[in-house]
Amino acid sequence: MYSTFYKKKLDELLYYTHRNLPVSPASDKLITNAFRFAYEAHKNDKRASGEPFITHPYDVALILAKEIPLDAVSIAAALLHDVVEDTKFTLKDIKAEFGDEVAEIVNGATKIEGMFGNYEMKQVESYKKMLLSMTSDIRVILIKFADRLHNLRTLEFLSTAKQIRLAQETLEIYAPLAHRFGLSSVKTELEDLSFKFLDRKAYDEIAKKLKEKKREREKFIKRFIEPIKERLTKEGYKFEISGRAKHLHSIYKKIVSRNKTFDELYDLFAVRIILDTKNKNDCFSVYGICSEIYLPVPERFKDYISLPKQNNYQSIHTTLVSKEGKMVEVQIRTKEMHEIAEKGIAAHWKYKENNSLHDTNLENWMKWIRESMEMSSKDDTTSQVLESFKLNLYQNEIYCFTPKGELKILPAGATAVDFAFEIHTQIGLQCIGAKVNGKIVNLDTPLKSGDQIEILTSKNQKPKLDWEKFVVTHKAKSDIRKYFNTERRKLIQTGKDIWERKIRKHKIHLSDENFSKIIHRLKYKDTGQFYYVISQDEGKISEVIDILTDKNKLQSLEQRNLFAEDAKLTESISDNFDKYVQEARTSKNGIILGNGSTQNINGLKYDFAKCCNPIPGDEVIGFISYEKGIRIHRRTCKNILNLFLREPERIVQINWNEAGGQEFTGGIKIIGEDKPGILNQITKTISKNFNSNIKSVDIKTRSSMFEGTLILSIQNLKQLNQIIEKINSQEGVFSVERFEQ
């Protein structure tokens, strides 16, 4: 069926499966059948490199077998993970051939395919899908890590624009997420590969300097570890000891954050001692031996064995001063700790069937990951959810305690208020003060690892608005926002009840539209703000009541043209409203838009809504407004949907006249590589090829990317789509889409 070459590939995959997982004829059969199925499904497909497509799912499966050993089901699912997305075969076919378990994992991987393909809302929705997939089976996200790792390893075959986009999203999301899962080796390689494509000059410079000093470094490490090696052997320990340079991106971050040169950094490498023991106390004994040989730096000692990180990382970290006066970071851990440090949640998953303790650990770990990423309330904006998601990925940790000794792990920079909300939302809301290590401190004081915090509360206390400025956990931020939004809604309802009682008492009858105009003219943003203000100060009502009950004051407002335009339009609409609605309901074509500059339909004024900027070619609909005549919206506009639900009798059907010539406003949103001259290329493309006037340009840059909005003079939808297509084909442009306000 396939060549000797692919037979050898399958044998290699089975070899690593046997080396890292229990040997089973059933497992071999499952992997072999999955390989054959994937080979047949992808046999006519090619990768960007020109290689047969099967090389990608094969290499993803090999990563799972060799670098993140899971099980035969995972390896089979990895071989099949692109079949449903890219071939004629369906999930039903996978289920029939391989059963429910494999099909569910393939389905989960398919659902989150391209999960980071766009920003803002698309990202947030993708994260939710990912969280759901993790709920069903952790192997889904582990396959995605292997998939991204292989894509990064073969990134040189893609265009520069795609390289930058994939590297950027890997560095922002995949690498820190791999860290959250404890996949240290995967996270390290993802960071280095991303760094290579985002800043090749800096990458090459650091790599070159590391290579130049490699021999010198190896000699130093050999001298440094020799006395430790001799002493541990003498004491009867079974161990491995080695020195390694820190990875390139880690060194680059140190150079940037410390504002130092490569040669000024002292902690460019670390020594690792891995003990073959089940007794974690041996790690502390070995630390004692190392401290006898070399002088330790006390403030750089970290005990992650007694207090593991939330991703279950365990190790002792210390810094020792060598005989030459150089500081060397040393890590001490057991074999099992090392496997969990390198393979994280995958190592826990591997052990779970035989060890109930790891079952509990795995369950708690998954719960923590989900909670750390899904804590968002309905009041949070998309950008707030996105900011929180990334914050939870990147955060360093501190370890704090309640007065009873209960451990709370918080992000670095957390305050007593963060700690209070971490205990319970109600404790946070009623927090009036805090004692840190027995001393009263300000609520915005940053906490440190080892602090013991006692939260002081009062039933009469309420959160302060400025709390949100200094808290750092998403839970605290979200709970504070939720509280104030709830309180505001309550006060708005209270104000509305007060207002309605007052106007009933004064027997005032006022349409919602005229009421909104008065409120706006009195400098309130909307009726909600007015209700909120009068809930705090009922005296504000009298100003409006006076105007409505005093003819002179009302007339004065009318003279200031508050109702002038409305009066004319109301008369026109009153005469024509029934006629237009009837025409729209009975006519096949509805009301036809004119093309003249007068912008009127049979004598009735109309204009185009700014919220959606309709242009010829868009499906449009009209809303009869007492203020603006007929307002034309795109049918997909959120505002027109709300108006339709509220007042369907004022909706009229609108169609475009076939004649052209009039100019309209349209916008495009562009994301691309931030490189010299790219904006000039884009504007030249528009003016040269389409003779379109650019009304405004708004460009924002982030790292090596830019995001820009261009507002243009457009004749119709066809022209706008042509512009989008033309710009999208330019080198360095990642995506172009119509701008939606």
pLDDT confidence of residue 628:
62
Lowest mean pLDDT among 100-104, 172-176, 289-293, 443-447: 172-176
Give ∠ CA 709-710-716 in degrees, rounded to 5: 125
Residue 516 reports pLDDT greater than 70: yes
Block residue for tokens 């699912």: 77
Q: Tell me, what CATH number does 68's domain have? A: 1.10.3210.10
Tens of pLDDT along 604-650?
A: 677 888 888 888 888 888 887 756 678 888 887 777 766 666 666 67
Q: How many domains does the chain have?
A: 6
Crossing angle of helices 335-351 and 356-374, rounded to 10° = 80
**How much of the chain, in percent, has pLDDT values that exceed 90?**
21
In the predicted structure, residue 384 carries a pLDDT above the cut 80: no
Mean pLDDT computed over 328-355: 78
**329 included as an active-site residue:** no
Q: Does pLDDT of 524 surpass 80?
A: no
Model confidence at 694, pLDDT cuts 50, 70, 90, reads confident
pTM for the model stands at 0.58
- Half-sphere exposure of 529 toward its Cβ, with a 13 Å CA cutoff? 9
Are 256 and 394 in the same domain? no
pLDDT one-digit tens code per residue, 561-598:
434 443 443 344 444 444 544 544 444 444 566 443 33
Pairing outcome for strands 591-592 and 604-608: unpaired
- Domain of 683, CATH number, reads 3.30.70.260
Does residue 365 form part of some domain? no
Q: In the structure, what pLDDT confidence band is assigned to residue 389 with cuts at 50, 70 and 90?
A: low
Pairing state of beta strands 453-457 and 431-436?
Answer: antiparallel
Computed on alpha carbons and rounded to an integer, the radius of gyration of the chain in Å comes to 33
For residue 31, the model assigns a pLDDT of 92
> What is the band of 363 on the pLDDT scale with cuts at 50, 70, 90?
low
More confidently predicted of 364 and 164:
164
Flag whether pLDDT at 419 surpasses 60.
yes
Claim to verify: residue 104 and residue 31 sit in the same structural domain = yes
The boundaries of the domain holding residue 317 are 207-351
Please tell me whether residues 223 and 313 are part of one structural domain. Answer: yes
Q: Which of 533, 562, 591 is the last residue of a domain?
A: 562
Q: Are residues 113 and 213 in the same domain?
A: no
Is there a domain that residue 157 lies in? Answer: yes
Tell me the average pLDDT of the chain: 79
For the cut 70, the answer to whether the pLDDT of residue 709 exceeds it is yes
First to last CA, the chain: 55
Which of these is catalytic: 85, 226, 276, 513?
85
* Total residues found in the chain within this entry: 741
Q: What is the pLDDT of residue 633?
A: 86
Rounded to an integer, what distance in angstroms lies between the CA atom of residue 258 and that of residue 568?
68
- Same-domain pairing of 115 and 126: yes
CA angle 587, 589, 590 (to 5 degrees): 65
**86 in catalytic set:** yes
Split at pLDDT 50, 70, 90, the class of 459 is confident
CA–CA distances in Å: residue 205 to residues 251, 536, 644, 650: 11, 63, 61, 67
Based on the number of CB atoms within 10 Å of its own CB, is 71 exposed (0-12), middle (13-18) or buried (19 or more)?
buried
More confident residue, 526 or 97: 97
Backbone angles phi, psi at 624, to 5 degrees: -80, 115
Exactly one of 12, 40, 86, 359 is catalytic; name it. 86
Q: List pLDDT tens digits, range 223-232.
A: 999 999 999 9
Within a domain: 17:
yes
Does 92 share its domain with 184? yes
Task: Count CA atoms within 13 Å of residue 561 on its CB side.
Answer: 2
Is 358 part of any domain? no
Q: Same domain, yes or no, for 140 and 173? A: yes
Which among 528, 562, 596 is the end of a domain? 562
- Indicate the pLDDT class of residue 355, thresholds 50, 70 and 90: very low
pLDDT score at 314: 92
**Is 623 a member of any domain?**
yes
- Which pLDDT tens digit goes with each residue over 527-556? 888 888 888 877 778 777 776 666 555 555
- From CA 207, how far away is CA 248, in angstroms rounded? 7
Cross-strand bridge partners of residue 295: 321
What is the average pLDDT across 683-699? 85
pLDDT reported for residue 559:
44
Q: What is the pLDDT of residues 492-514, one digit of tens each?
A: 898 888 888 888 888 887 777 77
Q: What percent of the chain has pLDDT over 70?
A: 78
pLDDT at 521 over 80: no
Domain match, 589 and 538 both = no
Give, in degrees to the nearest 5, the angle at Cα 678 between 676 and 682.
155
Distance, CA of 506 to chain centre: 53
717 located within any domain: yes
Same domain, 185 and 243: no
**Does residue 341 lie within any of the structural domains?**
yes
Please, what's the b/e burial string for 284-299 (b: 16 or more CB within 10 A of its CB; e: otherwise)?
ebbbebbeeebebeee
CATH of the domain at 394: 3.10.20.30
- The pLDDT of residue 579 is 52
Question: Where does a domain end: 301, 317, 351?
Answer: 351
Amino acid sitting at position 158: L
Number of CB atoms found within 10 A of residue 477's CB = 24
Are 347 and 277 contained in the same domain? Answer: yes
Do 143 and 40 lie in a common domain? Answer: yes
Tell me, what's the pLDDT at 369? 58
Top mean-pLDDT range of 225-239, 380-394, 432-446, 715-729: 225-239
Evaluate whether residue 364 is within a structural domain. no
d(CA 57, CA 35): 9
Give the other-Cβ count within 10 Å of 484's Cβ. 16
- The more confidently predicted of residues 114 and 174 is 174
**Per-residue pLDDT averaged across 68-77, rounded?**
87
Mean pLDDT of 200-204: 90
Give CA separation, 715 vs 596, 621, 718, 728, 739, in Å.
14, 19, 8, 20, 16
Mean pLDDT in residue range 70-97: 89
Distance CA 712, CA 68 (A): 51
**Are 277 and 346 contained in the same domain?**
yes
Q: Which tens digits make up the pLDDT trace of 317-341?
A: 999 999 888 889 999 999 999 988 8
